[in-house]
Amino acid sequence: MPLEERWPRPAVMGVLNVTPDSFSDGGRFLSPADAIEHGRGLVAEGAAIVDVGGESTRPGAEPVSAEEELERVEPVLEGLRGLPVSIDTSKAEVARRALELGAELVNDVTALRGDDSLAAVVAEHGAYLCLMHTQGEPRTMQADPSYDDVVFDVLAFLEERLAVAVDSGVAEERVCLDPGIGFGKTPDQNLELVRRLDELLVLGRPLVVGLSRKSTLGRVLGDPAATQGTLSASLGAAVAAFERGAWMFRVHDVRESVEALAVAAAVERGRVSA
């Protein structure tokens, strides 16, 4: 089934970080029982899919081994069996185990550049795949981001990575693309990407955006040292991205995001119900 049918727009992807160091919720769901309860709650609040991640990708984060990542995510995936789940990983070994445990989508922030074996694992399982743009590695990506034109550069990158995925046997109808807000971009570059998000629609694939609580939102509200954005700023950003064609929204605050996007979608339709 094409991704657009599996998760109709606007689809909310709830974040479930099983990490000690994620920038907005690190350490909160390290115990499997807490993480499972939180994940179930996200679905109850209207998440179309829960994105389980065992490695932080925030600026400055240190990489973790596949063993450590698996140790964090396996019990959580077991506890969420039967619910729609994605695995936020760039490692083939972690993705394989997650797909065996029922995950449907692999969310790879390296867009298949982190592990040569990942594309084959996705293809073999007929899984869905999210390819995200980033410039540089998490440890250093905010040091000096530079682009000719951030939107053109991101577009060219995603086009190339989509071709790589398809050449590796991943069905194009199962791929979604993400400009990677906050990944090797200045606040102004992030805003430019959202402003011109519709230009990425030429790629013909659903667009995922992760703006939730990101520091650019705090900068907009006047704090030059902000490391996080607020809930209300996140909702404003999600609606702005929706109006420019975004399909899936990776968020921490599911209920509020579902409600905000339901209204944005109703306005787009000009009708209460679909």
Smallest gap from Cβ 156 to ligand HH2, in A, equals: 19
Q: What distance in Å separates the CA atoms of residue 191 and residue 150, rounded to the nearest whole number?
A: 10
Smallest gap from Cβ 203 to ligand HH2, in A, equals: 15
Q: Which helix (H) or strand (E) holds 11?
A: strand 11-17
6 is catalytic: no
Smallest gap from Cβ 198 to ligand HH2, in A, equals: 18
Closest CB to ligand HH2 among residues 27, 267? 27
214 is catalytic: yes
φ, ψ (nearest 5 deg) of residue 250: -90, 110
Q: Which of 205, 213, 214, 219 is catalytic?
A: 214
H-type alpha helices, the chain: 3-6, 32-44, 66-79, 92-100, 118-125, 150-167, 187-195, 215-220, 231-243, 254-269
Closest CB to ligand HH2 among residues 89, 272? 89
Instruction: Reply yes or no: is the peptide bond before residue 59 cis, omega within 30 of 0.
Output: no
Closest CB to ligand HH2 among residues 90, 92? 90
List the beta strands (DSSP E) in 164-214.
175-178, 208-209
Q: What distance in Å separates the CA atoms of residue 90 and residue 61, rounded to the nearest whole number?
A: 15
Closest CB to ligand HH2 among residues 83, 179? 179
CA gyration radius, the chain: 17
Pairing of strands 175-178, 128-132: parallel
Q: What distance in Å separates the CA atoms of residue 17 and residue 51, rounded to the nearest whole number?
A: 8
Nearest residue to the partner ligand HH2, using Cβ: 210
Q: Which of 91, 250, 255, 269 is catalytic?
A: 250
Smallest gap from Cβ 215 to ligand HH2, in A, equals: 10
Q: How many CB atoms lie within 10 A of CB 98?
A: 30
Question: Can you give the binding site for ligand HH2, defined by CB under 6 A?
Answer: 15, 17, 19, 22-24, 53, 56-58, 88, 107, 109, 130, 132, 178, 180-181, 208, 210, 250
Closest CB to ligand HH2 among residues 31, 267? 31
The catalytic residue positions are 214, 250
